[in-house]
Structure 1
Amino acid sequence: MSAESDAVPRSDRARRFAVVGMGASGVGVFVELVRSLAASDLAADAEIHIFETKERLGAGVAYSTPHDCHLLNMRAGTMSVHADDPGHFVRWLASQEDGTRASSGTDYVPRRLFAVYLQEFFEEALTRARRHGIRVVTHRSMVSDCREDSRGVHLIAGLDHFLFDYSFLCLGDLPSTEYLEFTKVPAYVHSMWHGAGLEAIDPDTTVGILGTSLTAVDALLQLRASGHRGVITCFSRRRSLPKVQGPRVRHTLRHVTEENLRLLTEDHTRKLEFPEVAELFQRELEDGLGLAIDWRRVLTEPSAAFTPTLARDIELAENGQTLWYSILDATSEVVPQVWRSMSADARAAFMTDHLSIWSMFRHCMPLDNAHRLLAMATEGAFQVASGLTAVTYDEERAVFRVEVAPVGGEAAAYDVDHLVNATGTGFALERSDSSLIQNMLMRGDISPHPLGGIDVDFDTMRVARRDGSFSERAFYVGPLTRGVHFYTNSFETNLANAHSAVAALGTLSYAH
């Protein structure tokens, strides 16, 4: 694809849009953009350029894994790409010839199937675009810069220079920005999703996994499936393994509602402090469960012995005693509004003091995965150590030393042959390895959010500049807007944000 000349007068060009990154968020933006244009009188004059280096569109980091042990962490019945048709994914699964498919909406299926589903979702939108005369151009190149001036948005991809009316940046889950000092050590796996990853680990060596979240669970299960025989230790600063999902029960919110938020914030004229928000959730949980909760026990849960705790969590899930999960799940749609209603101090306090425990209970693992982990733990195949304080690399002995000081326990040190970073998405923009982010950050075209990630306008996803203004032409959709929307590791949230970003174009009248 030859470079587009930025000397062409804007009035002589068709309306041109760029979507950078075609993981789940990028596909969501593309589909919404096609729908919006097709419903307008602008379709015949429109071009959508998509930029993605991977051959597969729609997979991204989250769904690109080929391993069947990596399951969706949500039931099939909750993963439809159509908000008005929740059974769409389940029906799609039933139509597939793949032997691993859901028989009902309560099943958890391999994430690779969802990638195929998203790809078909994209193909349907592509067909619709062609039917309406929308030109779609795919560029297999990495965008290294994005800048805006009076003529539009300039993108640099490889050696080519493009000029667009609007750009949607959807970079997905960027690699962790922690432990970068080890990236040149051969025995260190900075991301299990990039490069050789876990496949490069000798099955007889000891392995340390930094983190105990769902990403760590993925790493454990993949090592297990590949026949790893050495002892594996998961290290965390505070939290323990994710809780286990039980049967999903429909819960109607009584306290964590938009109406209550409006009342508490006096029609959104004041911000809420953390105790007010905590009380709101406490009332929702205790009212829904019909009992008082021993919050002291809940808050000390991470320090409990993990194997008996996991066994008990499995038993509770199997007996349907996990109504608390359904209650928390029901808050998903309103949580971004709760987050928006909180003061800056309240949000900072939550991220520092409570995020790890919230994630442990909110982002739970499927029951099948819990059974596999319990079998591994019982066999002595892996262990969990909390209170992580330091990680170093001993070049002479070629081992990593991981030091822990658990609450109420004795300090200890572990030597491991391989180290796997499972700390998740990298939210520290200044340490990101993305040249696009670094170039925009250097000029002040994007601004880091104080709580990590990129700052955007809550309603429109327009990127915030260093001077506090918002771009009129550049939007960001995806996990990196966590500081603004909080719950951005969910497919449905990013799909809703994609819709909001494209809808914002209507208020701008697709102006040149």
Structure 2
Amino acid sequence: MSVEHGVVRTTGADHRYAVAGMGATGVGVFVALVRSLVAGGRAAGAEIHIFETKERLGAGVAYSTPHDCHLLNMRAATMSVHADDPDHFVRWLAGREDVSASDAGEYVPRRLFAEYLQEFFGDALAEARQRGIKVVTHKSVVSDCREDERGVHLIAGLDHFVFGRVFLCLGDLPSTEYLEFTKLPTYVHSMWQGAGLEAIGPDATVGILGTSLTAVDALLQLRTAGHRGAITCFSRRRSLPKVQGPRVRHTLRHVTEANLRLLTGDFTRQLEFTEVAELFRRELEDGLGIAIDWTRVLARPKEMFTHTLAKDVELAEKGQTLWYSILDATSEIVPLVWRSMSPEARASFMTEHLSIWSMFRHCMPLDNARRLLDMATDNAFTVASDLTSVSYDEDARAFRIEAGGAAHHVEWLVNATGTGFALDCSDSSLIQNLLMRGDITPHPLGGIDVDFDTLRVVRRDGSLSARAHYIGPLTRGVHFYTNSFETNLANAHSAVAAALTRLDSPAAA
């Protein structure tokens, strides 16, 4: 390998791989790539270049928080990096002195999962080097990715690289909503970047945009820091997430691949929303053993949020949340369900039902719910729904939020709306360059369009990239359940398998 005029040149580009972004998904890709190269007899002479600006590989946005009040929203027993060894993370936790035996299978601080991922990466790195794979780390941002007959050209900093295969794993990108406020010093666009919530004074009034799990994280961090000012969470439709109770194993009877094949004629036709809703209705009612009053369940709560939260905590403490275990059991099949739905059904779900699904499916740990209930009882925060507008009053130096038919004024505003899916508004230079040339296509439901099975990116003309794969939250329009670690890990394996299979294909030569 040599460098000419800033271009890193090499022979045999097909033996060189790049992983851009080394959060949890990037680590999953790296490990899958190392193991596949070793298993396929391709290890000797192969090169893997990883691109990440953070010192800690594997943490990413999701797990980089140092605050112990930020727990995993899933039990440790569901977070193994080895699909064939579901208790791997639990055993890893059990070997630590700072984790009690009773906590090892429950909800632990996210920083521990980041350490687990780093160790997972470290083991794969050691194996790669032992097997003759050259691994090069670049602490730089990939700003462009362009494909031609020579391979995939990456621009990172001042360097220009050529690779045979590239895996783009950018992780959770900042929200693409409320960008008009980003230059205001009292606006926190992302609580995970920059000064975040630490810049907020203890007596300041705070508005939090959103009531999802990210909003829960913000509330708990402010509480832990001793914040005393009034806090209001604002939402357009939904209330706080429901609460997870004891985990009960549920065997799916209706939301199954067999039933999907039957309904779709072996996937020769697509399902309408009513058909999918019926599958889930039957699954829930059969599992619970009762008929459900769906009008009541789906209606907006009439009680104060404190009453609803207290009831949800009580149900979780009594173990009366079997519905959550049923929904949790659908995790692996949901991407296939999503793929089986018609474009109209998917669009209808995203606009009309996503918020209620998220409230019931993405529930908070019981410990977090108890802390929020204590805060609500102390009048430390409140929730306002029916959010209609947000503006900034220059004279008052305060944000004005219209919600629930009333005007609210706060000194600080925190964006807790989650990942940004509007590509044209993204601040990623890589995404903007790819979008400008038509090398990626926005999915109609947000994010990046990719091939479902291979994760190869879809170009503007409808063709698939031969060498570039995108894995992570931005493929939500294709896979839907991409805020799940297990889904992104499965997609990482699929992308690597597809890339190496194409190398073996004569047509790919």
TM-score range, shorter chain: over 0.9
SS where residue 354 of structure 1 aligns?
helix
Report which stretch shifted further, 474-483 or 297-306. Answer: 297-306
Residue 96 of structure 1: CA displacement?
1.8
SS where residue 400 of structure 2 aligns?
strand
Give yes or no for contact 1:3–1:161 (8 Å, CA) kept in 2: no
Tell me the equivalent position of 2:437.
443
Alignment of 1:8-23 (within 5 A): 8=9, 10-11=11-12, 15-23=15-23
- Distance between the aligned counterparts of 2:302 and 2:466, measured in 1? 48
Tell me the equivalent position of 2:306.
307
- Distance between the aligned counterparts of 2:75 and 2:166, measured in 1? 33
Q: Deviations over 1:157-179 (max 9, x none)?
A: 01110000010000000000000
TM-score (ref. length: structure 1)? 0.97
- Distance between the aligned counterparts of 2:29 and 2:218, measured in 1? 30
- Distance between the aligned counterparts of 1:456 and 1:14, measured in 2? 21
Residue 441 of structure 1: CA displacement?
0.3
Q: Which runs of 4+ in 1 moved over 6 A?
A: none
Structure 1 residues 436, 302: closer, same or farther in 2, change over 3 A?
Answer: farther
Letter paired with 1:284: E
Tell me the equivalent position of 2:475.
481
Tell me the equivalent position of 2:401.
402
Alignment of 1:185-334 (within 5 A): 185-302=184-301, 304-334=303-333
Letter paired with 1:227: G
Q: Deviations over 1:430-455 (max 9, x none)?
A: 00000000000000000000000000
Structure 1 residues 259, 161: closer, same or farther in 2, change over 3 A?
Answer: same
SS where residue 506 of structure 1 aligns?
helix
Tell me the equivalent position of 1:502.
496
- Distance between the aligned counterparts of 1:89 and 1:71, measured in 2? 15
Give yes or no for contact 2:14–2:164 (8 Å, CA) kept in 1: no
Tell me the equivalent position of 1:408.
none
Alignment of 1:378-457 (within 5 A): 378-405=377-404, 411-457=405-451
Structure 1 residues 9, 47: closer, same or farther in 2, change over 3 A?
Answer: closer
Residue 221 of structure 1: CA displacement?
0.1
Q: Deviations over 1:105-155 (max 9, x none)?
A: 541000000000000000000011011100000000000000100100000
Gaps of 5+ in 2: none
Structure 1 residues 426, 7: closer, same or farther in 2, change over 3 A?
Answer: closer
Residue 404 of structure 1: CA displacement?
1.1
Letter paired with 1:456: V
* Count of aligned pairs: 505
Q: Deviations over 1:215-257 (max 9, x none)?
A: 0000000000000000100000000000000001010100000
- Distance between the aligned counterparts of 1:493 and 1:41, measured in 2? 27
- Distance between the aligned counterparts of 1:9 and 1:118, measured in 2? 31
TM-score (ref. length: structure 2)? 0.97
Letter paired with 2:453: D
SS where residue 162 of structure 2 aligns?
strand
Tell me the equivalent position of 1:80.
80
Tell me the equivalent position of 1:30.
30
Give yes or no for contact 2:8–2:161 (8 Å, CA) kept in 1: no
Q: Deviations over 1:28-61 (max 9, x none)?
A: 0000000000112211120000000000000000
Tell me the equivalent position of 1:174.
173
Quote the RMSD (CA, aligned, Å).
Answer: 1.4
- Distance between the aligned counterparts of 2:394 and 2:111, measured in 1? 38
Give yes or no for contact 1:21–1:169 (8 Å, CA) kept in 2: yes
- Distance between the aligned counterparts of 1:381 and 1:14, measured in 2? 57
Give yes or no for contact 2:422–2:446 (8 Å, CA) kept in 1: yes
Tell me the equivalent position of 2:465.
471
- Distance between the aligned counterparts of 1:2 and 1:313, measured in 2? 62
Tell me the equivalent position of 1:355.
354
Report which stretch shifted further, 35-44 or 312-321. Answer: 35-44
